[in-house]
Amino acid sequence: MTSEIGKEGDWTPAKINTRQRAARCARGKDVAAIPVKRVPSESWASSDAVRRTMQGNHKFDTKPELQLRSALHRAGLRFFKNRRPSPAVSCRVDVLFPAARLAVFVDGCFWHSCPIHRNQPRTNSAWWQQKLLRNRQRDERNNAELHAEGWRVLRIWEHEPVEDAVAAVCAVLRS
């Protein structure tokens, strides 16, 4: 059998997954030379695919954040993005209005356990349950830190219509 590594226009070792590897074995292809990327033993991920997906998630500039910021800007509001309100506060705020002392967070339904869209993953469920609990506890801690520094906190779920979110921000800024 011959190895297909190095053939022009064919696969590269980084692009082959387990299913492709199994298919090549079934067709009698030589896959001995194909490197198999394994999840490190200390990894929290249940598979390579899960690990890559998790590492690809953005901490800021998510689609719901971009939509909200764009709508706020169109409404004539000016703000800071992804900024720490003061040195005493450990978190970064998605949208910050320093003059009004308003911190706006855009929370993802999965990551922050939305009461409407919450779901519990079946794979590695004990780890996920703890992870999502830690996220909610961190949110509460951040809210408390911001309130202690004199900031108002507004949390918007990603599923909320942008127009409603802008109206909520404007209402808080007027109050």
- Give the mean model confidence (pLDDT) for residues 85-103: 93
Query: Are 42 and 121 in a shared domain?
Result: no
- Give the mean model confidence (pLDDT) for residues 100-126: 88
Q: Where residue 71 sits, what CATH number does that domain have?
A: 3.40.960.10
Query: Are 45 and 17 in a shared domain?
Result: yes
Query: Are 129 and 49 in a shared domain?
Result: no
**Residue 115 half-sphere exposure toward CB, CA atoms < 13 A:** 1
Measure the CA–CA gap between 38 and 164, rounded to whole angstroms. 45
What is the percentage of the chain residues whose pLDDT exceeds 70?
67
Q: What domain range includes position 32?
A: 13-56
Q: Kindly report the number of other CB atoms within 10 A of residue 99's CB atom.
A: 8
> Is 112 a domain residue?
yes
Give the model's confidence band at 12: pLDDT under 50 very low, under 70 low, under 90 confident, else very high. Answer: very low
Beta strand 152-157 pairing with 102-107: parallel
Instruction: Judge whether residue 36 has pLDDT over 60.
Output: no
Domain count, the chain: 2
Query: Are 92 and 163 in a shared domain?
Result: yes
pTM: 0.67
Query: Are 70 and 136 in a shared domain?
Result: yes
CA torsion through residues 143, 147, 148, 151, sign? positive
Burial call 112-137: b when 16+ CB within 10 Å, e when fewer? bbbeeeeeeeeeeeeebeeebeebee
More reliable by pLDDT, 33 or 76: 76
> Is 70 a domain residue?
yes
> Is 6 a domain residue?
no
Give the model's confidence band at 10: pLDDT under 50 very low, under 70 low, under 90 confident, else very high. Answer: very low
> Is 128 a domain residue?
yes
Query: Are 24 and 69 in a shared domain?
Result: no
Last residue in a domain, options 5, 24, 56:
56
More reliable by pLDDT, 73 or 41: 73
